[in-house]
Amino acid sequence: MVKSIPLLRFGKPQEVASLITYLLSDEALFITGSEYLIDGGQSV
């Protein structure tokens, strides 16, 4: 299954948490209605 992921590894919880932390920060105040895929490039 890992061979089907372009980054050749599973994601880590910290990688998801980093995006969430950014989106909750003041640096992301102008971002609205966006979708972010955290899949290691698998949905390419």
Residue 13 lies in a domain: yes
Q: Sign of the C-alpha dihedral, residues 26, 27, 29, 33?
A: negative
- Cα–Cα distance measured from residue 27 to residue 37, given in angstroms and rounded to the nearest whole number: 19
Tell me: the pLDDT tens digits for 1-44? 899 999 999 999 999 999 999 999 999 999 999 999 999 999 87
Q: What is the pLDDT of residue 21?
A: 97
Structural domain total, the chain:
1
- Cα–Cα distance measured from residue 42 to residue 44, given in angstroms and rounded to the nearest whole number: 6
Domain extent at residue 4: 1-28
Q: What is the pLDDT of residue 27?
A: 97
- 3-19 in b/e form (b: 16+ CB < 10 A) is eeeeeeeeeeeeeeeee
Residue 8 lies in a domain: yes
